[in-house]
């Protein structure tokens, strides 16, 4: 079974600064997919970024980028130029491909952006 670990329960960052959220996972699979989801206080969860394990290039989406270290089973999210609207819970998630694929989420991290 796959596990996803987010060991930092809370983080805080000053507006316009950069912050990195950590995530590690455990799997015996070689092909899989990793995701970061954002859940603002309104609770509607949205996809921030995703990474295919077979791709060496780290995914980027505007101010969001990941540092994917496959050997270390690490998948951190970097948020550049933090904005107040980035305040939310962030969940790291794992999915293996196949007909029975499903998302396995970590416990999440609460990020607060200070004005």
Partner 1 sequence: EAGVVQSPRYKIIEKKQPVAFWCNPISGHNTLYWYLQNLGQGPELLIRYENEEAVDDSQLPKDRFSAERLKGVDSTLKIQPAELGDSAVYLCASSPGLGWSYEQYFGPGTRLTVT
Using CB under 8 A as the criterion, which residues of the chain lie in contact with partner 1 when the complex forms? Answer: 4, 9, 33, 42-47, 50, 52, 91, 93, 95, 97-103, 105-108
Nearer to partner 1, 9 or 115 (CB): 9
Nearer to partner 1, 18 or 98 (CB): 98
Between strands 64-69 and 60-61, the pairing is antiparallel
DSSP structural state of residue 28: S
CA atoms in the 13 A half-sphere facing the CB of 37: 16
Q: Give kind and range of the element (H or E) at residue 104.
A: strand 104-105
Q: How far apart are CA 108 and CA 115, in angstroms?
A: 23
Cβ 15 to partner 1 shortest distance, Å: 26
Nearer to partner 1, 44 or 62 (CB): 44
Cβ 9 to partner 1 shortest distance, Å: 8
């Amino acid at each position: 079974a796959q596990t996803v670990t987010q060991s930092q329960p809370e983080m805080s960052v000053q507006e316009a600064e950069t912050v990195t959220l950590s995530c590690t996972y455990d799997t015996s699979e070689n092909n899989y997919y990793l995701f970061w989801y954002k859940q603002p206080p309104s609770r509607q969860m949205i996809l921030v970024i995703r990474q295919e394990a077979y791709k060496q290039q780290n995914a980027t989406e505007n101010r969001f980028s990941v540092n994917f270290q496959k050997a270390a089973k690490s998948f951190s999210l970097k948020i550049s130029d933090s904005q107040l609207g980035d305040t939310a819970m962030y969940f790291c998630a794992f999915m293996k491909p196949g007909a029975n694929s499903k998302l396995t989420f970590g416990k999440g991290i609460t990020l607060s952006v200070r004005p």
